[in-house]
Amino acid sequence: MEFVRLTRESSTIPVLERINEEPISMEDKSLILNLVDTGATVMAIYEYSEAIGFAVVREYKDIIYLAYLAIARDSRSRGFGTAAVEELADQYYEKQVIVEYEAPESPNVDPAVCIKRRNFYRRNGFKKTGWYALYGEVEFEIACAGAEFDVDMFIEFKEDLSKTLRTPIPHPYRKDF
């Protein structure tokens, strides 16, 4: 497996856009070029010479935020997602790698898909942080791998990202307070 960082001129973008259009239960799909333009690192995932998916990460101080991971439908359930997450964790082993995924009890989501996604990340070393974020009506759980989750730095990251994207991004909260 190989990760290749994309630029606006990358010839693989049309293939990845088709993967991005596959039904994968994500409400907010962004065009890949828009992600590149906002400073996200978009990496094509290749198996041999075939693009089978992509990952979108945002780096901020000691945070690696895995914003999106997509694997082509015909390549799913073959270990590529696990290999991609392991590769990212290896590349950024000294940092906190953070992911948000839909909470199964949120409205307008398929609980089975949410549980499958949560279980995928937990199997791959992401631990529950006890923190959540609300995007519209959908609640997201926040999980972290690598270094210990630093909520203050994550809030700082979200504030910085809000400036970059020019849109408010929700702050994390706990349910047990």
The rounded percent of the chain whose pLDDT value lies above 70 is: 94
Distances (CA, A) of 154 to 11, 158, 163: 33, 6, 14
Residue-level pLDDT at 150? 95
Residue 32 has pLDDT above 50, yes or no: yes
pTM for the model stands at 0.86
Least confident of 27-36, 73-82, 125-134, 155-164: 27-36
Higher pLDDT, 101 or 2: 101
- C-alpha to C-alpha distance for 35 and 24, rounded to whole angstroms: 18
The pLDDT score that the predictor gives to residue 17 is 80
Quick one: pLDDT at residue 29? Answer: 45
Ordered structural domains, the chain, with CATH? 2-174 (3.40.630.30)
Is residue 24 over pLDDT 70? no
Which segments of 57-150 does DSSP mark as H helices, in order? 80-91, 111-123
Q: Alpha-carbon distance 177 to 28, whole Å?
A: 29
